[in-house]
A and B are shown apart, each in its own frame.
Chain A
Amino acid sequence: MSLVSIRDVRKSYGAQEVLKGVSLDTGRGDVVAIIGRSGSGKSTLLRCINGLETYQSGSITVDGMAVGDGKTDLRTLRRHVGMVFQQFNLFPHLTAGENIMLAPTVVVKEQKGEARAVAESLLEKVGLAGKFDAYPSQLSGGQQQRVAIARALAMRPTVLLCDEITSALDPELVNEVLKVVERLASEGMTLILVTHEMRFARDVGTKLVFMHQGRVHEEGPPKALFGQPATPELAQFIGVQP
């Protein structure tokens, strides 16, 4: 059974339908890369998975928990679904370490000392050992995004959603963030990423999803899709001759 199951999800903003019946399965340990033009609905789809957006019809389940049916408590769901944002969204009044410790201490009621130890080891994991007491404003974009990843990991999520997490970064900072994500993938973390990093999608992804006009236009193994796109839209998007 798939860990994240999306079935015929539809969503509209007023008269504009942005998701026109999307279905997508993500298994445990999968690294799903969602690509597509802006406005194709990929970020909206991702935000539906942890309930930041609502949808009108269809269903989404994460590890057996239904999202957005009004019965599952969204807070319970979100303890299992981590999210990293394009703009980092670190809490500017807290240090890097406090950002990471906040949810474990407040939501899970972990002891301060225990949470601190976890935060320190997570910072080390994302290559920021020693930055525990730095405020977000003292960190570069790449460092902030790595703290944001560590913050999401502190809740030990079963799946991590990444919403264009390198799009706001200077080009030279992109790789340090991608390396962290790649390492998570190699450790078996289930990842669903909306991304513009084609090379990353091809090399690290286990599944590629091309969204076009609110639908999954093509999906399959990344190398096969990049090598031989089946539709002219994907061919045009990735810039190869069909």
Chain B
Amino acid sequence: MSDFSFWIILQNLLLATRWTILLSLIAFVSGGIVGLLVLLARVSHGRVLRILSLGYIEVFQGTPLLMQLFLFFFGVALFGIEVSPWVAAWLALTLWTSAFLAEIWRGCVESIPKGQWEASESLALSYGEQMRHVILPQALRIAVAPTVGFSVQVVKGTALASIIGFVELTKAGTMLNNVTFRPFLVYTLVALIYFALCFPLSWYSKRLEGRLNVAR
């Protein structure tokens, strides 16, 4: 009934995996940039900035990523602006990632001992100089492991983009299943590919964590 051999299925899935990887990378990088800005607002001395950034984080952490995708894809279209699945997925994942990264990094900044702030303050450094030269370099070191760990969530999060029609790994799986009617084979392969993407990341994250503990 089907001319789709195992190898053709696998080949098509792997081709679609490129889009999963690309979307993950782009969302992670742009989410990291936005996340850094949100972090700076979150730990700043300005009350308004702190409240706004807290609200931002709560909204994106407190609603399903799927809803955020829908809002970008369908919601924006209501205003007459055509949004491609690509752009909607990119925007939603970026904002979602930035909220989580900002919160992870805030924990890292706050784990820097108070004495570091006091010592640099006593040396007449301004708040910005303290951040740039004393606090962030130390927080960055602590942040590497949980950040790499979170990248796994981003990779898995891209699967939701399939629902708004973005053809990545999950969507390709669905399409292949529709023509081959071999769901077990197709989705097992899909799962294995996701695992192959995520496992090295979480493994690397654990390794970094271990190395950091030894260094301290």
Footprint of B on A, CB under 8 Å?
A: 50, 52, 75-76, 78-79, 81-83, 85, 87, 89-93, 102-103, 106-107, 148, 151-152, 155
B124 in contact with A103 (CB, 8 Å) = yes
B129 in contact with A107 (CB, 8 Å) = yes
Footprint of A on B, CB under 8 Å?
A: 113, 115-116, 118-126, 129, 133-134, 137-138, 141
B120 in contact with A91 (CB, 8 Å) = yes
Among residues of A, the one whose C-beta sits closest to the C-beta of B130 is: A106
Once A93-B138, A102-B133 are accepted as A-B contacts, the answer to whether A52 and B118 lie under 8 Å apart by CB is: yes
Contacts of B134 in A (CB 8 A): 91, 102
B115 in contact with A93 (CB, 8 Å) = no
A-B contact count (CB 8 A): 57
Q: Which of B113, B123, B129, B133 contacts A78 (CB 8 A)?
A: B123
B118 in contact with A79 (CB, 8 Å) = no
CA gap between A78 and B125 in the complex, in Å: 9
The 10 A-B pairs of least Cβ separation, nearest first, read A89-B119, A103-B123, A89-B115, A78-B124, A83-B122, A79-B124, A75-B124, A107-B124, A93-B137, A106-B129
- Report the minimum CB–CB distance from B22 to chain A (whole Å): 34
Of the candidates A50, A102, A151, A155, the one having the most CB atoms from chain B within 10 angstroms of its own CB is A102
B141 in contact with A78 (CB, 8 Å) = no
Q: Which of A92, A103, A107 contacts B138 (CB 8 A)?
A: A92
Contacts of A89 in B (CB 8 A): 113, 115-116, 118-119
Q: Which of B118, B125, B141 contacts A107 (CB 8 A)?
A: B125
Among residues of B, the one whose C-beta sits closest to the C-beta of A81 is: B122
Of the candidates A50, A78, A85, A89, the one having the most CB atoms from chain B within 10 angstroms of its own CB is A89
CA gap between A85 and B123 in the complex, in Å: 12
Contacts of A102 in B (CB 8 A): 120, 123, 125, 133-134
CA gap between A164 and B121 in the complex, in Å: 19
B121 in contact with A107 (CB, 8 Å) = no
CA gap between A102 and B116 in the complex, in Å: 13
Contacts of A75 in B (CB 8 A): 124-126
- Report the minimum CB–CB distance from B160 to chain A (whole Å): 38
- Report the minimum CB–CB distance from B135 to chain A (whole Å): 10
- Report the minimum CB–CB distance from B127 to chain A (whole Å): 10
